[in-house]
Chains A and B, each alone.
Chain A
């Protein structure tokens, strides 16, 4: 069972990867970023295992204080690369960032599903899907969206990126603390409320732009 995450990773990436040449350019780009998110998850799981043993196996401390930071940093790497090397177009960055976040959440949820196969239920799946799925998406989008603003000025870029990562990691940690406490339901509500707010805000903006 040690290689379980690798098995799932191969199953996912090979089948999606084979589909890539048939896709349109824009869709392909989003899918590539999703695969990068899946790969980021695999990479982070190794880092987190090392960190967990480094912190004496204190699972609660590591998952509420350390992993939000490592996960946000690794998820931001493909977005940073895209922003610096390819384009800082806001729309593309936001879409790519969300794809990375979702890709990350997909592998994370699948691995957890297989590890807890005896105890999972549809309710568990809904909680994981809406909770962790959205948190990863929202945090990476926040970083991607923010980078599209600060990328234009070198002086802003470096510190601004750290500031965005710190905020995203704080939000992520907030979720991790909540879902491991008796206020679990708040943990699931947090990303859902954030997501709805973002969607409403984005729709309002688009409406104003069209007017």
Chain B
């Protein structure tokens, strides 16, 4: 059953990535958008590796498996896009946004708290590796929440891609939820719910972003 869910999720991520390549890989396209397409691509590679390992070995063994890098890479791309490209356009570092910056910390705190639940079971090599992954997810989640709640005073760039940021934040939460569900061997119903939602996010990621980005030129 895991294998079937993994295959479906890989296909959804591949469709999302393919759509992104088709729509956004022109010479004049913004780097921000390309990085988000690469984030979906990286997630796809990670899922593909998991699917293959399930297909070939029937299980994913070891405290570290390379599929984790796909998820980590995906959030690193999302984080880099927001931190390196977008954030400086909407936050000049002034006191005006201090409250926003503090409220945005809720997202990484929630992610780290979710990891804390896992760590409370016992600290192992696997917990430590997941901790690094959590840190990357938390960093990305901070900027997603910040860009959802920030007052877009100058350009209106962030306002139009708010839905994308909501989606990315949901994706971050789902990835953490997946880790917890698998680690605690919770009911398979939860696994199905998380996978189905991730499929929806993977399919919606680029089209939702595209809808917002199209308004940049208006």
A pairs with B? yes
Interface of B is mostly: helix
Q: How far is the CA of A201 from the CA of B42 in the complex (A)?
A: 20
Within 8 A of B (CB), among A150-167: 150, 153, 155-157, 159-160, 162-167
B83 & A159 in contact (Cβ 8 Å cutoff) = yes
Q: How far is the CA of A61 from the CA of B35 in the complex (A)?
A: 30
B42 & A170 in contact (Cβ 8 Å cutoff) = yes
B80 & A69 in contact (Cβ 8 Å cutoff) = no
Q: B41: shortest Cβ distance to chain A, in Å?
A: 7
Within 8 A of A (CB), among B75-119: 76-77, 79-80, 83-85, 88
Q: How far is the CA of A52 from the CA of B162 in the complex (A)?
A: 46
Interface digits, A167-206 against B, CB 8 Å rule (1 contact, 0 not)?
A: 1011101100110111100000000000000000100010
Chain B residues contacting A149 (CB-CB under 8 Å) are: 31, 34
Q: How far is the CA of A201 from the CA of B45 in the complex (A)?
A: 20
In the complex, residue of chain B having the shortest beta-carbon distance to the beta carbon of A176 = B66
B46 & A170 in contact (Cβ 8 Å cutoff) = yes
Chain A residues contacting B34 (CB-CB under 8 Å) are: 149
A163 & B70 in contact (Cβ 8 Å cutoff) = no
A45 sits at the interface (CB 8 A): no
Number of A-B residue pairs, CB cutoff 8 Å, is 100
B72 & A166 in contact (Cβ 8 Å cutoff) = yes
Interface of A is mostly: helix
Give the interface size bracket for B toward A.
Answer: 35 or more
A13 sits at the interface (CB 8 A): no
A163 & B38 in contact (Cβ 8 Å cutoff) = yes
Q: A208: shortest Cβ distance to chain B, in Å?
A: 7
Chain B residues contacting A109 (CB-CB under 8 Å) are: none
B45 & A167 in contact (Cβ 8 Å cutoff) = yes
**B42 partner, pick from A61, A153, A163, A177, beta carbons under 8 A:** A163
The answer to whether A64 and B66 touch (CB under 8 A), given A160-B84, A166-B42, A167-B42, is yes
Interface digits, B35-47 against A, CB 8 Å rule (1 contact, 0 not)?
A: 1001101100110
A208 & B76 in contact (Cβ 8 Å cutoff) = no
Q: B217: shortest Cβ distance to chain A, in Å?
A: 20
A155 & B84 in contact (Cβ 8 Å cutoff) = yes
B80 & A159 in contact (Cβ 8 Å cutoff) = yes
A170 & B52 in contact (Cβ 8 Å cutoff) = no
Q: B67: shortest Cβ distance to chain A, in Å?
A: 8
A68 sits at the interface (CB 8 A): yes
Chain B residues contacting A156 (CB-CB under 8 Å) are: 31, 80, 83-85
Q: A130: shortest Cβ distance to chain B, in Å?
A: 20
A65 & B65 in contact (Cβ 8 Å cutoff) = yes
A160 & B62 in contact (Cβ 8 Å cutoff) = no
Interface digits, B41-58 against A, CB 8 Å rule (1 contact, 0 not)?
A: 110011011001101100
B187 sits at the interface (CB 8 A): no
Chain A residues contacting B77 (CB-CB under 8 Å) are: 160, 163
In the complex, residue of chain B having the shortest beta-carbon distance to the beta carbon of A58 = B62
Q: How far is the CA of A167 from the CA of B53 in the complex (A)?
A: 17
Chain A residues contacting B85 (CB-CB under 8 Å) are: 153, 156
In the complex, residue of chain A having the shortest beta-carbon distance to the beta carbon of B75 = A163
A181 & B46 in contact (Cβ 8 Å cutoff) = no
A163 & B76 in contact (Cβ 8 Å cutoff) = yes
B188 sits at the interface (CB 8 A): no
Chain B residues contacting A181 (CB-CB under 8 Å) are: 52, 55-56
Q: A163: shortest Cβ distance to chain B, in Å?
A: 4
B62 & A65 in contact (Cβ 8 Å cutoff) = yes
B154 sits at the interface (CB 8 A): no
Interface digits, B13-37 against A, CB 8 Å rule (1 contact, 0 not)?
A: 0000000000001010001001100
A selection of 8 A-B contacts at a CB cut-off of 8 Å is: A66-B66, A69-B69, A150-B84, A156-B31, A156-B83, A163-B35, A167-B73, A209-B27
Nearest 5 pairs of A and B residues by beta carbon: A166-B73, A156-B84, A163-B76, A170-B45, A155-B84
